[in-house]
């Protein structure tokens, strides 16, 4: 069965339908350079309502595991691949990628030139696209829906009674492995929605605050910025990805939409304080305007080596910092996981800073 990928600029690719064969969708077309970690990528809430193009030519060769999901369901709206593996080779695999997409009711297209598609996105930028069962003569891209923000409907706690440290995580679309990483470094975690007030968070008696990753434009969360300003005055605070951008906005910096974003697991980041370079996992379409940080109380602590974008911030004199990349990986390298330990250490050394 044929499938048609039509881009906002008029380009069209014809391939073979995979996953949910009948479903047709519109979304924001992006690409990731990750060679592995397709299951974690598909279930990452930061990809909500996006059509993911995998630049690596063969996807799905080790199947699907029961333990790799980064959220309860697939977040991406569709998948684009050059080739999808039909035979899998891994002892933990319980189904093929195609079976996983069908079960999740997610459509996909295979058998197209993803190299050419990626070159188009790099040249023209991230754009809207449609995945259909028939060729489109004309597409109403202007009416297509923007990325929805992910908001949990309830607060939940992952207790570990043997660990005294308590982190309140504000969930803008958190990945499972962020919660697991905090637990692995010895913290009890309470997850709250961005609808929470400062007083409701303070009533939970946290030792530290984590602002999570999530999809969409950070400026859409303007209502929560006053809460961040209060939280950073009372508790150690760590921001990841979207949380990094929100910390910047809360302190007067600006953000902007990137041409095609950073999505992959091999982005080199230089720590400006130590001159150390780490390879990082990234997934974001917005960034902090590095020049705008100058007029804020924040300090830039890291940059992406390739394009010199802002990758880290701290608030001198306060136990507050953030990174644009994903220290929890899933997928990706684990070189930056020690940032969770750094966050825990800040909670220990700054326990008296909270006034809740």
Q: Tell me, what CATH number does 33's domain have?
A: 3.50.30.20
From first CA to last CA, the distance across the chain in angstroms is: 60
Same domain, 7 and 126: yes
Q: Is residue 248 part of a domain?
A: yes
Q: Tell me, what's the pLDDT at 141?
A: 59
Q: Is residue 240 part of a domain?
A: yes
Q: Tell me, what's the pLDDT at 164?
A: 79
> Mean pLDDT for the chain?
92
What are the pLDDT digits (tens) for 114-126? 999 999 999 999 9
CATH of the domain at 279: 3.40.50.880
Is residue 130 pLDDT above 90, yes or no?
A: yes
Q: Tell me, what's the pLDDT at 297?
A: 98
Q: Tell me, what's the pLDDT at 354?
A: 40
Is residue 226 pLDDT above 70, yes or no?
A: yes
Q: Is residue 72 part of a domain?
A: yes
Of 8, 304, 311, 328, which residue is the catalytic one? 328
Is residue 177 pLDDT above 70, yes or no?
A: yes
Same domain, 104 and 35: yes
Q: Is residue 146 part of a domain?
A: no
Same domain, 229 and 334: yes
Same domain, 303 and 187: yes
Binding site residues, as ranges? 46, 214, 216, 242, 245, 283, 285-286
Q: How far is the C-alpha of 302 from the C-alpha of 294, rounded, in Å? A: 14
Q: Tell me, what's the pLDDT at 153?
A: 42
Same domain, 314 and 192: yes
Q: Provide the number of structural domains found in the chain.
A: 2
End-of-domain residue from the set 75, 103, 135: 135
Is residue 139 pLDDT above 70, yes or no?
A: no
Q: Is residue 355 part of a domain?
A: no
Q: How far is the C-alpha of 34 from the C-alpha of 283, rounded, in Å? A: 10
Same domain, 344 and 313: yes
For residue 270, what are the contacts with CB-CB under 8 A and spacing of at least 6? 276, 277, 302, 303, 304, 305, 311
- Closest CA relative to residue 177, chosen from 209, 215, 213, 221: 213
Q: How far is the C-alpha of 170 from the C-alpha of 27, rounded, in Å? A: 26
What are the pLDDT digits (tens) for 178-225? 999 999 998 999 999 999 999 999 999 999 999 999 999 999 999 999
Report the DSSP beta bridge partners of residue 27.
129
Query: Region 22-30: what's the mean pLDDT?
Result: 96
What are the pLDDT digits (tens) for 32-67? 999 999 999 999 999 999 999 999 999 999 999 999
Q: How far is the C-alpha of 293 from the C-alpha of 110, rounded, in Å? A: 43
Q: Is residue 356 part of a domain?
A: no
Query: Predicted confidence band at 356 (pLDDT cuts at 50, 70, 90)?
Result: very low
Same domain, 31 and 128: yes
End-of-domain residue from the set 135, 167, 188: 135
- Inter-residue contact 169 to 237 (CB < 8 Å): no
What are the pLDDT digits (tens) for 60-103? 999 999 999 999 999 999 999 999 999 998 999 999 999 999 99
Q: Is residue 354 part of a domain?
A: no
Q: Tell me, what's the pLDDT at 342?
A: 95
Is residue 140 pLDDT above 60, yes or no?
A: no
Expressed as residue numbers, the domain containing 289 is 156-348
Same domain, 163 and 307: yes
- Dmax (CA) of the chain: 64
Same domain, 168 and 272: yes
| Distinct helix (H) and strand (E) counts, the chain | 8, 19
Same domain, 50 and 110: yes
Of 8, 241, 284, 304, which residue is the catalytic one? 241
Same domain, 195 and 119: no
Kind plus residue range of the DSSP H or E element containing 30: strand 25-32
Q: How far is the C-alpha of 98 from the C-alpha of 346, rounded, in Å? A: 44
Q: How far is the C-alpha of 300 from the C-alpha of 291, rounded, in Å? A: 10
Is residue 148 pLDDT above 60, yes or no?
A: no
End-of-domain residue from the set 135, 166, 181: 135
Same domain, 102 and 183: no
Is residue 294 pLDDT above 60, yes or no?
A: yes
- Inter-residue contact 16 to 110 (CB < 8 Å): yes
- Inter-residue contact 76 to 102 (CB < 8 Å): no
* Lowest model confidence (mean pLDDT) among 13-22, 154-163, 233-242: 154-163
Q: Is residue 336 part of a domain?
A: yes
Is residue 215 packed enough to be buried (19+ CB in 10 Å), middle (13-18) or exposed (0-12)?
buried
Tell me whether residue 326 is one of the annotated catalytic residues.
Answer: yes
Which 8-state DSSP code applies to residue 64? Answer: B
Binding site residues for L-glutamine, as ranges? 46, 214, 216, 242, 245, 283, 285-286
């Amino acid at each position: 069965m044929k499938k048609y990928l039509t881009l906002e600029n008029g380009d069209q690719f014809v391939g073979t339908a995979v996953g949910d064969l009948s479903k047709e969708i519109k979304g924001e077309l992006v690409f990731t350079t990750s060679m592995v970690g397709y299951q974690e990528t598909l279930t990452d809430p930061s990809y909500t309502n996006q059509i993911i193009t995998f630049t690596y030519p063969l996807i799905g060769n080790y199947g699907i595991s029961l333990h790799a999901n980064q959220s309860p369901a697939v977040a991406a709206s569709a998948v684009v691949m050059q080739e999808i593996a039909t035979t899998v080779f891994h002892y933990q695999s319980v189904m093929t990628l195609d079976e996983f997409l069908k079960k999740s009711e997610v459509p996909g297209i295979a058998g197209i030139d993803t190299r050419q598609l990626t070159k188009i996105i790099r040249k023209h930028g991230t754009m809207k696209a449609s995945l259909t069962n028939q060729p489109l003569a004309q597409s109403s891209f202007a009416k297509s829906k923007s990325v929805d923000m992910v908001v949990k409907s309830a607060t939940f706690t992952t207790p570990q009674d043997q660990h005294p440290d308590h982190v309140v995580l504000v969930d803008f679309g958190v990945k499972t492995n962020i919660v697991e990483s905090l637990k692995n470094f010895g913290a009890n975690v309470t997850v709250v929605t961005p609808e929470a007030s400062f007083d409701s968070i303070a009533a939970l008696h946290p030792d530290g605050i984590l602002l999570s990753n999530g999809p969409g434009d950070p400026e859409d969360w303007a209502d929560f910025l006053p809460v961040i300003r209060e939280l950073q005055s009372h508790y150690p605070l760590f921001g990841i990805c979207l949380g990094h951008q929100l910390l910047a906005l809360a302190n007067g910096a600006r953000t902007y939409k990137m041409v095609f974003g950073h999505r992959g697991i091999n982005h080199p980041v230089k720590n400006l304080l130590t001159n150390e370079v780490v390879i990082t996992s990234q997934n974001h379409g917005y960034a902090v305007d590095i020049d705008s940080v100058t007029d804020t109380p924040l300090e830039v602590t890291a940059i992406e080596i390739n394009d010199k974008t802002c990758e880290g911030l701290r608030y001198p004199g306060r136990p507050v910092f953030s990174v644009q990349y994903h220290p929890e990986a899933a997928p990706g390298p684990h070189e930056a996981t020690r940032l969770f330990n750094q966050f825990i250490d800040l909670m220990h050394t700054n326990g008296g800073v909270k006034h809740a």
